[in-house]
Structure 1
Amino acid sequence: MIVVCGIASERPIALVTDALRRRGLPHAVLHQRRFTDTPIDIRVDGTDVRGHLRCDGRTVPCSDVTGIYTRLMDWRLLPEARGAGEETLRHCQAWHEALGTWIEIAPGRVMNRASATATNRSKPYQAQLIRSAGFRVPETLVTDDPDLALAFRDRHGRVVYKSISAVRSIVRLLDNEAAARLPQIRSCPVQFQRYVPGVNVRVHVVAGEVFATRIETDQVDYRYAGRYGGRADLTPWTPPRELALRCADLATGLGLALAGIDLVLTDEGEFFCFEVNPSPAYSFYEDHTAQPISDAIARALLGR
């Protein structure tokens, strides 16, 4: 039995569920927003995990679960939690803590455990792991000092800024307009990086299987190209064997059965790695390129 945890209507969840259905694989969806009527009963005895989940109106014994795909949003942002009473909030928090604990210790293939996703909560820390895996990383500065940020821009010319944590941010150039707002970083350190021109590449690693997408864009952050009147053309791409192996090894080294790796290919033929996303919105790339990433996830969930 495979359990899919998250919001059923979200595209990545829906694609995995459809792939499991097409393959005739037994599965159940644990709807995150239905925490009030989907009880979780988990008991741990030594290395034995017992109990059951209530999924899709049926009871699923934990002992029957051999694979888990999880893409959970912050429970505090759920519509059912906003404005809810204190008792509901306590129940919501306890439900998610129980679910997170089970996902962390459940046997079988899990995409992904919280312990493996933790490196993305500190991008500077993750960058050190990426560099140790043999990838080049752009020169980086993390600071709350506006003068240091300006000096960093003077030294490298074009500089981008982004969040330090796992919270998604739009990558923007530190132009003069943004530089005028630098005094605001005194209350919140920001990550600055040398801008590396080239072609963006997103590599999805699914249990060692590699799917690469080449992105041609006229924007700094291609994910938001449409918002700013730009373009982003996504095409499937076959990476060099050495790069594919290195990406697979990087995901394995981070303990990730599923990973989205962000790279840029420079005009000189060098690859720089920006970060590794442990909960990638792979559906964006699958929808644009027809690469069977969701099917690979479904197949991988069968393995241990």
Structure 2
Amino acid sequence: MILLVTNKRDVTTDFVVLELRRRGVPFFRLNTEDLPQCEIAMPDGDPARLILRGIEGELDLSEITAAYYRRPGGLEADDADPVAAYVTAEWSAILRSLWNGLEGRWLNSPFAILRAEDKPRQLAAARGVGLRVPGTLVTNDPEAARAFLADGSTVAKPLRHALVDVGEVGSVLFTSRVARIDEEDAAAFRRAPIILQREIPKRSDVRALVVDDDVFATRIMSQRHNETQVDWRRGVRTDLAHKVCELPRDVAEACVAVTQTLGLRFSAIDLVEATDGDFWFLEANPNGQWAWIEQRTGAPVSAAIATALCSSDAP
């Protein structure tokens, strides 16, 4: 049986569900928001023998042959309950036991995902497998930043979180060009590290989805619109053209290699196709979105993921 760990609103998992149903493969979808409504038993305190009973039926970890960690949701507890924080923490501990109990059966282990989210580690891994990586500086030192800016066109992007809680809606930090750091900005700059990276003149952006040895690459024609030229996500344009892309063999093999170096079987790698035709590595999202790529291009990503899950050896 295949385990899918996600949340109730995750459309991407729906694609995998449809593919597994088409193949007649049994699966269990665990929407983690529902966990506090479940009953669990863990004989001998052994995570590998965990049994969970809930609204979706019974889950016995000993019967799981492979698992896909997609987008677990936050645990839903009763805010009016005076011990809600305690209850949430205890169920979170059960989830960690579940993650451990399935070690060796994950498409991407949750712990490997956590390690792979380290962007400086990604850049080092990419260089190590021969991918081109733009000149980069991670800093909160205004003087070091000014020296870096003086050497050429530069973009800035967050080291980890792209969302800032400002007001009720919040704010998204897109990749943006930065030309200078004024003295009045220096104090704010020192508050947190940031990634500064040499800007590569683009022909297009490329998202390469790696599933084991398969690579599904898509050109995103970001240079056709002013607002998407630096960061294709800006503006949320529904008319942003996507085209299937055949990467050079050495680049595709390097994408597989960097994924494996990070301890992953799946990753969503963002590349820049430069105006001279070279490909440059930006980052690897160890749990990146892919459903819209399949919708726009027909790339059989859900089929590749289902195959990867079905090919995993039983414990």
Common fold by TM > 0.5:
yes
Q: Aligned partner of 2:233: which letter?
A: R
Task: Tell me how far 1:154 sits from its aligned partner.
Answer: 1.7
Who is 2:251 aligned against?
Answer: 243
Q: Is the 8 A contact 1:109 1:302 kept in 2?
A: no
Match of 1:197 in 2: 201
TM-score by length of 2: 0.84
2:68 alignment counterpart = 69
**Structure 1 range deviating more: 200-209 or 162-171:** 162-171
* Alignment-derived partner of residue 89 in structure 1: 85
For residues 98 and 174 of structure 2, the distance between their equivalents in structure 1, rounded to whole angstroms, comes to 33
Residue identity over aligned pairs, in percent, reads 30
Deviations, residues 235-254 of structure 1 (Å, cap 9, x unaligned): 11122222222211221221
Gaps of 5+ in 2: 164-172
| Alignment pair present for 1:129 and 2:125 | yes
Superposition map of 1:247-266 within 5 A: 247-266=255-274
Paired residues, what number?
A: 297
Alpha-carbon distance between aligned partners in 1 of 2:130 and 2:44, rounded to the nearest angstrom: 39
In structure 2, what is the equivalent of residue 151 of structure 1?
Answer: 147
Residue 112 of structure 1, CA deviation: 1.6
Alignment of 1:83-122 (within 5 A): 83=79, 85-106=81-102, 109-122=105-118
Give the distance between the partners of 2:138 and 2:189, measured in 1 at CA.
Answer: 10
Confirm whether residue 160 of structure 1 aligns to residue 155 of structure 2: yes
Q: Secondary structure at the match of 2:96?
A: helix
Q: Which amino acid aligns with 1:66?
A: T
The letter of the residue matching 1:232 is L
TM-score by length of 1: 0.87
- 1: CA distance between counterparts of 2:100 and 2:35? 19
Q: Which residue type is aligned with residue 106 of structure 1?
A: L
Match for residue 282 of structure 1 among 290, 300, 304: 290
Question: Which segment is superposed worse, 145-154 or 124-133?
Answer: 145-154
Aligned Cα root-mean-square deviation (Å): 2.7
- Shift of residue 61 of structure 1? 1.2
| C-alpha deviation, 1:73, in angstroms | 4.6
Corresponding residue of 2:18: 18
Partner of 2:188: 184
Question: Which runs of 5 or more structure 1 residues have no equivalent in the other structure?
Answer: none
Distance in structure 1 (CA, Å) of the matches to 2:311 and 2:38: 27
User: Aligned equivalents of 1:297 and 1:53: distance in 2?
Assistant: 25
> 1:61-97 deviations in whole A, cap 9, x for unaligned?
111101111123573xx6x359464522322232233
